[in-house]
Amino acid sequence: MLFSSCAVKTVKGLEAKTPKVTTYPVTYFSNLETDYVYKAHIAIYGKDFGGIFIAKKVNDTLYRAAFTTEFGNKLFDFEINDDSFKVNYILEELDRKIIVNTLKRDFMLLLKTKYNVAQQYEDDKDIIYKCSDGGRFNYLFVNKDNGRLSKIVNATKSKEKIVVNFSEENNILAKNIVIDHKNIKLKITLNYIQ
């Protein structure tokens, strides 16, 4: 048995195995025909923003993500694919390098279409795929019972940085999504609007 001794707490004590798959495709937000519309709440450094978050798959690799107030005022509008991020618009109050970079990491993590798997772990409930992400790692928790992605943990070698929890409706729709930062005061909550 091989145990990871200095692993992040996400997989501490779990046995690392050779992965059974080389890539993991994320199926949430994958339908080109669907506008994914969520009631959104962003809490950042004591400020709260509520409104509507819309994600639309434009083609096989490109997404458009926008956040507006309930009155229709745009807060941000991004174009995202697995390798690039473009700001079409961002509200002046949010247009700070640290905020833009944080939102970039969050939404690239949320809308990534596939991950290259480096290692695999298992616990009673999940198969956990470890994937490299620049200087960080993403741990994908895939439920053993239904095969759906339930959580992504973005971490350095020693600390969890971002946790994305999915409450799935089906294999292409996450009903509720919570993006929670462990090192800064930022939490994004998305609830699907039918």
Residue 46 main-chain phi, psi, to 5 deg: 85, -5
Residue 161: pLDDT over 90: yes
pLDDT at 171: 76
Please give the tally of structural domains in the chain: 1
pLDDT at 7: 61
What CATH number does the domain containing 67 carry?
Answer: 2.50.20
- Cα end-to-end distance, the chain, whole Å: 47
pLDDT at 1: 39
Query: What is the biggest distance separating any 2 CA atoms in the chain, rounded to whole angstroms?
Result: 57
Residues in Cβ contact with 50 at an 8 Å cutoff, skipping those fewer than 6 apart? 39, 40, 41, 42, 69, 70
9-13, 34-38, 88-92, range with the lowest pLDDT: 9-13
pLDDT at 142: 95
Is residue 128 one of the residues assigned to a domain? yes
Is residue 3 one of the residues assigned to a domain? no
Strand, helix or coil for residue 190? strand
Residue with tokens 């509008």: 77
Is residue 4 one of the residues assigned to a domain? no
Residues in Cβ contact with 17 at an 8 Å cutoff, skipping those fewer than 6 apart? 119, 120, 121, 122
**Mean pLDDT of all residues in the chain?**
90
Is residue 102 one of the residues assigned to a domain? yes
What confidence tier does 45 reach under pLDDT thresholds 50, 70, 90?
confident
Average pLDDT over residues 7-14: 82
Residue 194: pLDDT over 50: yes
pLDDT at 99: 87
Q: H/E element holding 169?
A: strand 160-170
pTM assigned to the model: 0.90
Is residue 7 one of the residues assigned to a domain? no
CA-nearest of 96, 108, 119, 104 to 24 is 119
Report the percent of the chain where pLDDT is more than 70: 96
DSSP state of 16: P
Residues spanned by the domain of 168? 23-192
